[in-house]
Amino acid sequence: MKPIKRIGIIGNGAVGMLMASLFEPDYTVTLYGRVDNGSNVTIEHTGATNGTVQVRLEPVTTLIETEQDVFFVTTKAHQVEAATRRLSGDVPVFICSNGIAHLDYARTRGFHLGVVEHGVSRDGNQLHHTGLGRIRIGSLDAVEAMSFIASPLDIVWETDIEQVVTEKLFANAIINPITALCRVENGAVALPPCRDIAEAVYAELSTLFDRHVPYTYVETIIEKTGHNRSSMLRDIEAGRQTEVDAILTPLLKRADERGIALEVIPVLQKLILGASVSC
């Protein structure tokens, strides 16, 4: 595999901007987003990492695949298909969105997967890096492992990326809706009464997947991100579309396909949809 020198990041939200700012010292980075014209953008990040960098921000409609050596897609799950319309897969593409709704799409398009474990919030071009983690990447096919220069992003190649995505889904499906509906930080999910709901969701999730995800994994994520406000909570507070159709809705479909009756997850899904409408 040829050396990686140029990195395209699709999605200029908090995660995309954090990745761009931490890749920039070692690579030529282009950030693609919903903007009218290309320009240099100054990104300041504080918290777990500190610094100020300039990166190139271009409209996603101007993206030319061959101008990059690898792409990371950091958009919301419902934006993935539109964001990757100009990509063929000839250049490696890692979809780093939440949920599992994009798995079949990734397989069909020959794309790869990534899971971002860093905590980050955004206010304009200012980022607060709330927690260090890893970016775990891998392929659904037999693809040669890719490596990147060591950085705070801590990019790790996973041989079983689908297990990693499943683990992240468990954490998202438990933490996001509970924090969004109760308007609490992630750490509250470890305590009653939120913990009681979390354990009920975990029990239902465990019936839907053949892969085992220990509850201790979810507890670890809650502890590491205790002071974070989940993306679903921030979306509802800001009146934005949530990722309920990427995180919870596919679970209802999976349950229907397997003939499994769920009680808690369908209620959470309806409540999140209702909360989104009322924003």
What are the tens digits of pLDDT across the range 12-24? 999 999 999 999 9
pLDDT for 127: 96
How many other C-beta atoms are found inside a 10 Å radius of the C-beta of residue 66? 9
What's the CA gap between 3 and 248, in Å, rounded? Answer: 38
CB contact at 8 A, 204 and 261: no
Q: What is the mean pLDDT of residues 105-109?
A: 93
Task: Give me 109's structure tokens.
Answer: 């398009």
Closest CA to 248 of 195, 177, 199: 177
CB contact at 8 A, 108 and 46: no
pLDDT band at 2 (very low <50, low <70, confident <90, very high): confident
pLDDT for 1: 62
Closest CA to 29 of 52, 49, 56, 11: 56
3-state secondary structure of 93: strand
pLDDT band at 104 (very low <50, low <70, confident <90, very high): confident
What's the CA gap between 32 and 164, in Å, rounded? Answer: 26
pLDDT for 119: 87
What are the tens digits of pLDDT across the range 123-180? 999 999 988 999 999 998 878 899 999 999 999 999 999 999 999 999 999 999 999 9
pLDDT for 278: 58
What's the CA gap between 136 and 117, in Å, rounded? Answer: 8
